[in-house]
Amino acid sequence: MDTQTSMRTSKRFTLWLPLLLVVGGLFLSGCGKTAPTVDSMSGPDQLQTGESGTFEASINAEADKPLTYQWNFGDGETGSGLLTTHTFQRAGQYQVTFTASNEAGSDTDTLTVMVERPPQPASIASINAQPNPVDEGESVRFTSNVRGDTPLTYNWSFGDGATGSGASVTHTYSDPGEYTVELQASNNAGSDSRTLSVTVEPALPPICTSITEFNPVFFSYNSSTLTDEAQSALQENLDVLNQCSNLSARVEGFAAPGERSPQELSADRARAVAQFYTENGVPGARVMAEGQGEVEGQTSKKGGTRQFRRADSIPVRQ
């Protein structure tokens, strides 16, 4: 080979060498490999908060391995694999993205999921009645606290055959007694019920709110026995106590100067009066008895010198 031919060959090699290096580098870096293509992507269009959804994707079979798969659910959470599950904790619209990648490249697909709060059935948190107890003929207001999706329906049964509707209602009972009141609340997602008891008391005579003083009773010297006169005075007190459930009696016994064991005697006199009340229908819880010992100073009670040998019944309004 002459010198000129050799030089031309050398120049051609010199020109092709960089091109061969570039092509070789591209080949070594992935040229010739197949990138993934997302063929399909599926998942639920709608979910409820707290409900698990399944998401699945497929790619072209020719894609070279190794492959990586990543899911982005749009709520800050991610996943991996061709098949995965996810639960959304908050309502909203989310763009779910799937990406498949290898050394040759990547491909992405998306779908939209609408996440809604699940239906909230009617649930009664509380019901109340004011006032309770109530006097016959007096209006009672019933209120309720009901949770759940609207619209809500309220049905009240007052226990006396009457009914009502609404979150807050009023009702008047004509007769005394114990009544079971029921509320039924409902909506499209479900229903709930709750009951309470209402005590209706007989209407009180005017004297039950106006009386300020009961009859006192007087005793013989050194005695705690009720005389006929004393029992007659106590009978008037008893009639009021039996009519007025809002009244109690505080009985205070006294002893006159010179009587035996004044503290003990005054306590016996108080107990004698209290026993008269309880034996004639007044509950013991409404009667209190206490001896006051020997009388000191003067008293406004009528009865002469015997006014010191007495027991007072003091009305206590509840």
Pairing of strands 287-294, 163-165: unpaired
Judge contact between 75 and 144, C-beta under 8 A. Answer: no
Straight-line distance from the first to the last Cα atom of the chain, in angstroms, rounded to the nearest whole number: 135
Contacts within 8 Å (CB) and 24+ apart, 20-28: none
* pLDDT score for 283: 95
For 120, residues 6+ apart whose C-beta sits below 8 A from its C-beta are 147, 148, 149, 187, 189
Judge contact between 262 and 250, C-beta under 8 A. Answer: no
Judge contact between 71 and 109, C-beta under 8 A. Answer: no
Identify the structural domains of the chain with CATH numbers, from first to last: 38-116 (2.60.40.10), 123-201 (2.60.40.10), 207-317 (3.30.1330.60)
Global pTM?
0.54
Q: Which of 251, 219, 263 is nearest to 316 (CA)?
A: 251
Q: Supply the DSSP symbol for 304.
A: G
Residue 22 neighbours by CB distance under 10 Å: 10
CA 41 to chain centre: 45
For 28, residues 6+ apart whose C-beta sits below 8 A from its C-beta are none
Pairing of strands 46-48, 105-116: parallel
Amino acid (1-letter code) at residue 162:
A
* pLDDT score for 31: 56
Pairwise CA distance, residues 171 & 141, whole Å: 7
* pLDDT score for 231: 96
* pLDDT score for 20: 44
* pLDDT score for 52: 96
* pLDDT score for 247: 94
Pairwise CA distance, residues 96 & 72, whole Å: 6
* pLDDT score for 7: 47
Mean pLDDT, each 10-residue run in order, the chain (318 residues) = 49 48 45 90 96 97 96 96 97 97 96 96 97 93 96 97 97 96 97 97 89 95 95 96 93 94 96 97 96 76 71 93
Question: Cα torsion at 298, 299, 300, 306 (round to 10°)?
Answer: -110
Residue showing tokens 């050394």: 103
* pLDDT score for 22: 44
The dihedral of CA 56, 60, 66, 72: what is its sign? negative
